[in-house]
Amino acid sequence: MLDFLKSKSASLVPLSAGGHLGWLRGVIGAFLGIGLSGGVTLLALGTSDGALPWLVAPLGASAVLVFSVPASPLAQPWSVIGGDLISAAIGLGVGQFLGDPLSSGAVAVALAIALMSLSRCLHPPGGACALLCALGATGPAHWGWATLVPIGANVLTLVGVGWFYNNLTGHPWPHRAVAPPHPAPGLEDYTREDVEGVLLDWNEVLDIDVDDLDALFQALTRRVARRVAEERSVKDGKRVRGNAA
């Protein structure tokens, strides 16, 4: 059982973008993003006495998405800004209204998922923001609406750093899908709507843009066709030389 889980988890680990050191780009970006977000927020608050959080934990998860998988639909600027801030507001409001940490946390996360989905800004760290703010509003600190000031400073600074750093390092952000070429041979009747139809049949949410999926499929088909043609050419060449001998 353990061997199965190890082999399965290894197959699910995503490859680093840009080769074996692709992870280093994300490391540097996250370091800059979190460091500057905390610094800017401290300056905005003018104090670090603990009355308000100057750096919130969900920002770490947002940094992973923004700097390590900037092409993900979950990591786009509106997803980060809307997902984190809408969820934080929900958490504060629900916590102040219900007053109980357990029920407030559950309701806040559920409502955050609903509103993020309807607002097209689904962002996993948003769920953490909702839970954090619900617990903060019902805890000893009794977080109020002023808590949105440091959280907003955190989020907006991270997005600003993400925009500058990702574009500087060759990863356009907001992400622009690769324009697919003309359909590969044998796929003349294939359309983007076919990809959308398959996704509807699967009834699953995939963490990849439809246009990226379209371009990937076409590029893969062309690559396979080119490899098969090259292998066939090599075999034909060997056959000709064998007949000549």
For residue 77, what are the contacts with CB-CB under 8 A and spacing of at least 6?
A: 159, 162, 163, 173, 174
Classify residue 137 by burial, with Cβ atoms within 10 Å: 0-12, 13-18, 19+: buried
> How do residues 139-160 score in pLDDT, each as one tens digit?
998 999 999 999 999 999 999 9
In whole angstroms, give the CA distance from residue 120 to residue 114: 10
Sign of the dihedral through C-alpha 94, 95, 97, 98: positive
**For the ranges 128-142, 168-182, 221-235, the one whose mean pLDDT is highest:** 128-142
Comparing CA positions, the residue from 106, 124, 8, 134 lying closest to residue 66 is: 124
8 A C-beta contact, residue 29 and residue 161:
yes
pLDDT above 70 as % of the chain: 79
Residue with tokens 């098969």: 228
pLDDT above 60 for 137: yes
Residue 81 binned pLDDT confidence (cut-offs 50, 70, 90): very high
In whole angstroms, give the CA distance from residue 196 to residue 238: 44
Residue with tokens 């920002």: 59
| Higher-pLDDT residue of 140, 230 | 140
In whole angstroms, give the CA distance from residue 154 to residue 42: 10
Which one-letter amino acid corresponds to residue 85? L
> How do residues 82-109 score in pLDDT, each as one tens digit?
999 999 999 999 999 999 999 999 999 9
What letter does residue 145 receive in the DSSP assignment?
G
Residue 23 binned pLDDT confidence (cut-offs 50, 70, 90): confident
Which one-letter amino acid corresponds to residue 16? S
Residue with tokens 């440091």: 150
Least confident of 59-73, 177-191, 196-210: 177-191
Give this prediction's pTM.
Answer: 0.78
**For the ranges 164-173, 188-197, 224-233, the one whose mean pLDDT is highest:** 164-173
The domains of the chain are located at 22-168, 192-244
pLDDT at 159 (0 to 100): 98
In whole angstroms, give the CA distance from residue 95 to residue 93: 5
pLDDT at 217 (0 to 100): 73
How far is residue 146 CA from its own chain's centroid?
28
Coil, helix or strand at residue 181: coil
- Cβ-based neighbour number of residue 223 at 10 Å: 11
How far is residue 209 CA from its own chain's centroid?
11
The per-residue pLDDT of the chain, averaged, comes to 84
For residue 197, what are the contacts with CB-CB under 8 A and spacing of at least 6?
A: none
pLDDT above 50 for 113: yes
Residue 116 binned pLDDT confidence (cut-offs 50, 70, 90): very high
Residue 5 binned pLDDT confidence (cut-offs 50, 70, 90): very low
pLDDT above 90 as % of the chain: 56
The token duo for 55 is: 């750096």
Mean pLDDT across the stretch 3-10? 50
